[in-house]
Amino acid sequence: MKAIELQEYDHPLVVVDRPPPVAGNGGHLIDVTACGVCHSDIHVVDGQFSSPLPLVPGHEVTGVHQALGPVMLYAPWGCRNCWICDTGHEMICPDAAEAGLFVDGGYAEQMSVPHLEYLQPLGDLDPVRSAPLACGGLTAFRATRQAAEVLHRRGSKARALVIGAGGLGQFGIQFLRLTSDAEVWVVDQSPQKREKALELGADRAVGPGELDGTFDAIVDFVGAEPTLESAAQHVSRRGIVVVVGLYGGQVPFGVGAVPPEAQFMSSFWGTVAELGELIRFAHTHSLEYTVETMPLAEAEQAHQKLRSGLVTGRIVLVT
Ligand SMILES: [Zn+2]
Ligand SMILES: [Zn+2]
């Protein structure tokens, strides 16, 4: 089968011919239909995860399983042997074995999957268009759900703020709008992204420094020092700040440093159950995002395009 290998960090991806994968003990095979290209894939190539090499990247995978039919892959595999995995939070397992990061992923014609529950039936969703939901969509879905309880408490008076209207932020705006009664504000320094945010249903889209008042829930899809500072300034008493962005910013935390009883939390990817819920959600709500397809063999070109910053939607590789 054709596959894409990362053979050396910081080197171009290589198209190779490999023997088809073998389904391990109790494992399963899927024929890959599509695989989204995510920013984490760039970090895999750069060696930031110290992935074992050679590695087949790719964690936004849809495919076909012999018995289940069209499926979406749950890629953040855990050890399935610790209390975190026992409670369904495999994506934050300390002994994680994420597909496409630590074991072979979906930049290939076939893929081996260790457990059937990692394959969520896709129903009649378009397998190419829906591939980015597996990571980008799921990460935003979980992040906005972390805020749901606080927003529901305030009902129609709730105010939510999305920081950063890039790919994940655009999912976040839609999830907040479709699942809560909150007034949704967006802050982004790019006028184009602010315009996009308004198209997606945000009530207000402003530049940094133009925020007004406090917000019950703030989802920071940037995570840099200035965005966290602004979140700490604008979160309401008993409000919540959910940080998703990987810019590595920090902010002082403690009684007196943040508004009384404000919560700050990070949010990572999502659970198997949430992936199933997201697939059901996508059946009943039309989510707006653009997908650009490229052939699997052009994975390296896709990575270069993503690095160039010239991509407005999500790139999906098709077999
Ligand atoms: Zn990803
Ligand atoms: Zn575990």
pLDDT in tens, 57-78: 999 999 999 999 999 999 999 9
Range of weakest confidence among 170-174, 191-195, 232-236, 307-311: 307-311
pLDDT at 4 over 80: yes
Spatial separation of the C-alpha atoms in residues 269 and 316, rounded to whole Å: 19
Ligand 1 mean position to 40 CA, how many Å?
5
Spatial separation of the C-alpha atoms in residues 8 and 125, rounded to whole Å: 36
Domain boundaries, the chain: 2-135+269-318, 140-266
- Which ligand ends up closest to the CA of 81? 2
Ligand 1 mean position to 169 CA, how many Å?
14
- Quickly state the pLDDT bin for 302 (edges 50, 70, 90): very high
Ligand 2 mean position to 138 CA, how many Å?
19
Look at residue 301 in the predicted model and tell me its pLDDT.
97
Ligand 1 mean position to 237 CA, how many Å?
33
pLDDT at 313 over 90: no
Q: Average the pLDDT over 211-236 and give the result.
A: 97
pLDDT at 216 over 90: yes
- Quickly state the pLDDT bin for 29 (edges 50, 70, 90): very high
- pTM (global) more than 0.85: yes
The distance from CA 95 to its chain's CA centroid, rounded to whole angstroms, is 20
- Which ligand ends up closest to the CA of 77? 2
- Quickly state the pLDDT bin for 311 (edges 50, 70, 90): confident
Q: What are phi and psi for residue 108, nearest 5 degrees?
A: -165, 165
* Token pair listed for 300: 């390296």
Q: Which of 12, 260, 290 is nearest to 171 (CA)?
A: 290
- Which ligand ends up closest to the CA of 91? 2
Cβ contact 13:308 at 8 Å:
no
Span 109-124, pLDDT tens digits: 999 999 999 999 999 9
Mean pLDDT for all residues in the chain: 96
Ligand 1 mean position to 192 CA, how many Å?
24
Q: Three-class SS string for 184-211?
A: EEEECCCHHHHHHHHHCCCCEEECCCCC
Look at residue 274 in the predicted model and tell me its pLDDT.
98
Q: Average the pLDDT over 202-213 and give the result.
A: 96
CA dihedral 289, 290, 295, 300 (to 10 degrees): -90
Percent of the chain with pLDDT over 90: 95
Span 246-280, pLDDT tens digits: 889 999 999 999 999 999 999 999 999 999 999 99
| 115-125: burial string, b at 16+ Cβ within 10 Å, e else | eeebbbebeeb
Ligand 2 mean position to 91 CA, how many Å?
9
pLDDT at 312 over 80: no
Query: Domain 2-135+269-318, what architecture?
Result: Alpha-Beta Complex (3.90)
CATH top class, domain 140-266: alpha beta
Look at residue 68 in the predicted model and tell me its pLDDT.
97
- Quickly state the pLDDT bin for 310 (edges 50, 70, 90): confident
Look at residue 192 in the predicted model and tell me its pLDDT.
93
- Which ligand ends up closest to the CA of 137? 1
Q: Which of 144, 4, 141, 138 is nearest to 74 (CA)?
A: 138
Ligand 1 mean position to 85 CA, how many Å?
20
Q: Average the pLDDT over 119-147 and give the result.
A: 97
The distance from CA 89 to its chain's CA centroid, rounded to whole angstroms, is 15
pLDDT at 25 over 90: no
Spatial separation of the C-alpha atoms in residues 295 and 1, rounded to whole Å: 15
Ligand 1 mean position to 198 CA, how many Å?
25
Ligand 2 mean position to 83 CA, how many Å?
7
Does the bond joining 295 to the residue before it have cis omega, within 30 degrees of 0?
A: no
Ligand 1 mean position to 107 CA, how many Å?
13
Within this chain, domains 2-135+269-318 and 140-266 share the same CATH topology: no
Which one-letter amino acid corresponds to residue 183?
Answer: E
CA dihedral 120, 125, 127, 130 (to 10 degrees): -90
pLDDT at 319 over 80: yes
